[in-house]
Amino acid sequence: MKLAFLFPGQGSQAVGMGADLYANNEQAAAVLNEADAVLGYNLSALCFEGPDDKLRATNITQPALFAVSVAALRAVEAAGITPSATAGHSVGEYAALVAAGVMDFETGVTLVAQRGELMRQAAAAHPGGMAAVLGLPAVDVQAVCAVVTEAGDYVDVANLNGAGQVVISGEQSGVDKAGVALKEKGARKIIPLAVSGAFHSRLMQPAVHTMRGYLELAAFQDAKVPVVANVTAAYETKADEIRENLSLQIASPVRWEETIERLLADGFDAFVEIGSGKVLTNIVRRISKEVLAVNVEDASSLAASIAALGAG
């Protein structure tokens, strides 16, 4: 099998994430202990126990998801499973870069904490919202967003997730008006997302410059295996290219459907989602029913994934 590792983004967090791996896998426990030490607060307790409203705050959610993903990654690696490429959805791209050897965990968790705080600040300065649009082609969603924006209420496509799901982001008035127009155009459902800002939209632009500065100072290596970038849906391996794409990513759409289609076109037939939940696993299964797609978020799913990959 040709195997790709996938890492989830914001929205996949859940109280209790990482607790089972912490209790049952020493490699995973070491990562979460290191996160607490580097950040200077008990991130692992927030992952295990919540409260949910605090875990959903973007400056907490992002390092929490990253730490749990890398904890699960270390458990997967300890089982002898390695990828031929990696990709991550939004903040999940940082875990994908750790898996590809671009940065170590301490560098990654520090950057992700900085990213979360910058995005929190941008959201406070320029409030907005997001909504998932189900059942319409991306081109139709983009056309409606353009019309609403032209009329004075900014909204744009933020996540091109695939399998009939597109996420829009922008001023709340723009998201609301686009939602009405998209329903009239035939969208099956519009689902407002419980987020604290208009992520992956131009309202996040104030965070881009500062994040670029943080990334320029971070210790990066060229990738040992290719990483598919959110911004381009193309393979990247060079450290400087990775830095620039990560800074742009904050205010740019996540091209996830193209990411999976690129991997499929290049013969990848097995995907392991590593971290909280199975959102990306389900997207892969909807895009292609022929490939193996499994997730690792606790000890039992790790064992099941090892068995599935071994059987393949």
Active site residues: 90, 200
- Of residues 2, 1, 6, 3, the one with CA closest to residue 228: 6
Q: Say which DSSP state 33 is in.
A: H
Question: Within 13 Å, how many C-alpha atoms sit on residue 148's CB side?
Answer: 26
| Tokens standing for residue 157 | 């496509």
φ and ψ at residue 16, rounded to 5 degrees: 105, -10
Residue that the structure tokens 């730490």 belong to:
67
- Of residues 8, 43, 205, 27, the one with CA closest to residue 113: 43
Task: Show the 3-state SS of 256-311.
Answer: HHHHHHHHHHCCCCEEEEECCCCHHHHHHHHHCCCCEEEEECCHHHHHHHHHHHHH
How far is residue 35's CA from residue 295's CA, in Å, rounded to a whole number? Answer: 22
| DSSP annotation string for 190-213 | EEE---SS-TTSGGGHHHHHHHHH
Q: Are strands 165-170 and 292-296 parallel, antiparallel or unpaired?
A: unpaired
Which residue(s) pair with 251 in the sheet?
none
- Sign of the alpha-carbon dihedral angle for 142, 147, 150, 156: negative
